[in-house]
Amino acid sequence: MAKTILITGSNGLIGSEVALFFGRKGFKVHGLDNNQRAVFFGPAGDTRWNQDRLRQSLPGFSHHEADIRDRARIGELLAAIRPDLLVHTAAQPSHDLAARIPFDDFDTNAVGTLNLLEATRHFAPESAFIFTSTDKIYGAAVNQLPFMELESRWEINREHTYASGIREDMAIDQTMHSLFGVSKASADLLVQEYGRYFGMYTACFRCGCLTGPKHSGTQLHGFLAYLMKCIMTYTP
């Protein structure tokens, strides 16, 4: 019997690629998305085209129109699907926008993650829960690390304990965060705590600046994709 995966934010850059990867591995793929990116960023942020791509590319793909802030709806979905794996990529992803809509930002990133964790704990406790966190949970603390300037890039001093990469023991307190960083850090901590306290199988992937051809890039988020769009369309 095929294993089942539930992906939140399945219309987005990361979620859609996760769906294709696991779908091609034989998983039954369920995507959860409500095109909230278009609400946050306007028509340029619309992701319905990516949803259509998944339907065309993945036979048996199931799309669920839902908002992760809707606690009852999330509970119903988890009770019905009971996935073997849940990959949580849905988010309010913009630093600048977070300062304008702090309640929407926190309710989406922190409370939405809590809703998913609780529903998973009750209805799919054996499921692995993977959260796409962000390196922004470290705030400005990374600026205190000893960087050295090379010919084409900056790197952490090779003698430093983080020379091969920043580990989980990097402090996230006593530092300036954006409101986005705070909401994502709250979610990151919740995912860790549900793993430790309830014995769930949780993991946080603290991603940096990601982009790609499946990004509905806008000026407020997805700037690299947005920049390339401006170059290709000769838009100042």
15-41: per-residue pLDDT in tens? 999 999 999 999 999 999 999 999 999
Write down the pLDDT at residue 210.
Answer: 85
Residue type, 92: Q
Write down the pLDDT at residue 151.
Answer: 96
Question: What pLDDT band is residue 113 in, cutting at 50, 70 and 90?
Answer: very high
Domains, the chain, ordered by start: 4-232 (3.40.50.720)
More confident residue, 213 or 78: 78
CA distances from 31 to 64, 88, 217, 225 (A): 6, 10, 20, 23
Enumerate residues 6+ apart whose C-beta is below 8 A from 4.
27, 28, 30, 81, 82, 83, 84, 85
- Tokens matching residue 20: 């294709």
Does residue 169 sit in helix, strand or coil?
coil
Mean pLDDT for 129-139 is 95
